[in-house]
Chain A
Amino acid sequence: MATVHRVRGLWTALRYRGREGMWTWVLHRATGIGILLFLIIHVVDTAIVIYWPGLYDHALALYRNPLFRFAELLIFFSVLFHGLNGLRIIVQDFWPAAMRHQRRFALGALGAAVVLILPVAWIMLAPLFGLRAEPGSARHEARVNARHPSISDYRGPAQAAPPVAPVTEARP
């Protein structure tokens, strides 16, 4: 019978001689749980859009608080790291020779996530400090203009619909 040893906590886990493998394992867990918690809130509040679109817009207004932008960036980083590290695990599972380089791969996954989050952080955070327009601004303007055409396209008042004679229902 194999005894399952007690896990003594985060500090033990970090000092444990697993090094890169252990650190990425802890980070994989933490990001996984974080993403799941966010996902539950995200799905429940997005789904209300079908019955209560006003309430949905109200929730979005709350999320416009700059604090949420940092949280969204953290989620983005979590997904990036969890995905890249998961990819490393899959590669090592199906291609055992890769195990010989697992330390380098673990650091590679973390490093790639950090490098990829940099441009994302710039796009998402710079608007908060007035350094850049909000992402998608041009797209948004084009959309609004399509809905409300410019005054130069105005062709005069719309023609009133011709009066229609009231329809009397024929009784059987």
Chain B
Amino acid sequence: MSSLVRNRRGGYDRPARDQRSNFELYAWFFMRISGLALIFMALYHLTWWNLIVGVEHLDADLVRERWTNPFWRLFNVALVSFAMLHGLNGLRYSIEDYVRRPGVRLAVKTVAYAVVLLSLAWGIFALLAFNPAVPGR
């Protein structure tokens, strides 16, 4: 769906020439794989924090305790990566559906990619840089 060209009727066409890239196929496949994983991982995450621990009892100390185990930090790295990339690709589908002007589309996509990828980087950084032995960290 990328790089539509404007036609004489005021609509947009797909380019005639095939773009020699399998990106859309990989994106399609990634949505299925990550979606399947997220059903279990995200629902586990929601059940654990909302129904078993309870957000009322959540505090920085509890997070520190949980993140002391490297397994849960790696689990969270996988969860946040799958979720953010799945969400970013879904957002890309939406932008390509509704934002038709090539210049505006590029601008909207740039902002969307920047916001999502920076949050993802910040989240992964926090999980990997976290050190239970250092107070305030």
Total chain B interface residues with beta-carbon distance under 8 A:
55
A99 on the B face (CB < 8 A): no
CB-contact partner of B126 in A33, A35, A50, A140, under 8 A: A50
A114 on the B face (CB < 8 A): no
Chain A, interface residues (CB within 8 Å), range: 35 or more
- The smallest C-beta distance from B48 to any residue of chain A, in angstroms, reads 10
A170 on the B face (CB < 8 A): no
Give the chain B neighbours of A47 by CB distance below 8 A.
122-123, 125-127
Give the chain B neighbours of A136 by CB distance below 8 A.
51-54, 56-57
Q: What's the dominant secondary structure at chain B's contact region?
A: helix
B4 on the A face (CB < 8 A): yes
B70-111 CB contacts (< 8 Å) to partner A: 80, 83-84, 87-88, 90-91, 94, 97-98, 100
9 contacts between A and B (CB under 8 A): A2-B13, A35-B87, A43-B123, A50-B137, A54-B60, A90-B36, A134-B57, A135-B56, A136-B52
